[in-house]
Structure 1
């Protein structure tokens, strides 16, 4: 019964996040996953947009006293943190899922490759998970120190995420790592470990971010 109640609260708080706390720009940035179809475009920008969308929502929540409002609901502080973590994960995973058919379509429409940077291939999605994981871990744990200072949290989180994105774009221009830029089926099979590592690291970082954030938020006096 307690597990069912916990699931009910999780669904309830996530629904509240999507209906009340999420800024409209969060959904706009989520659907910008379609940009992977654009020729000669830095697809790392799609990943960065997946980080900036949640920031705008958290800033919106601060201005509307969302955290204080949630604390008045019959939910625990840890449920508030869980809802925010799920909101980030849901929007980022949705962005990647939306981008997938456009990434496949692009390789058929423009088969000559992306001269601007990395292709939207298996390695790209692996790096996306890694960059999201780094951003989320820093952003969430910093934000829930106070549940108010969004600016400080984004400044600390966006820098390593941007460095990760730049590193990804540079690697594909290094002869030794040009296989990261391929969309050939046999080469993408070689890229598969990057995707697996990225997903595992993302899951681990989100669980760690939730645990650390929940502990820090417990000490915040609203």
Structure 2
């Protein structure tokens, strides 16, 4: 009987210790479940996407308050530190994908659709080309091909040949090219110069065409 009592006590101790054992992952999972339950109610109410985003933030703050003691054991989260709050929100967001994927997708889908609707191709950064007229002087083959060019404004230019561009075949016969009036389109690109140990602006060839 005594042995049975000792065995029961050992079993109870193991159960209590298992229940008391907490981990960061378990805390995040509990917080995420709480956030999921909170935001799912708002999604079911059919509120706007903007309001859902606001409510998600409120749900996260509310859940943080509930589990603050446990969260503080594993994470350094503070309302005064935007970076720590953002990191905390990201961790919960990643958890939501597995804990409540349907709820996550219900508002993530709206965010994606809104981004698509607001997308404007004109917002994409397009390269700006500059055009200059003049005559080719020489082509130097170094680490990169460099074209020396004298503009009609009497200014000397050096253009880098880094990749394929329209009209590059004209540079195969520099003797013939020197006799012709050219129009060159180039792009100014900032690149690192290991010799200067700093960035500098290079003129990169984008197009060459004969104008006479």
Tell whether the structures are fold-level matches, with TM greater than 0.5.
Answer: no
Higher helix share: 1
Higher relative CO (CA 8 A, sep ≥ 6), structure 1 or 2? 1
Q: What's the TM-score, normalizing by structure 1?
A: 0.28
Higher strand share: 2
Q: Which has the larger radius of gyration?
A: 2
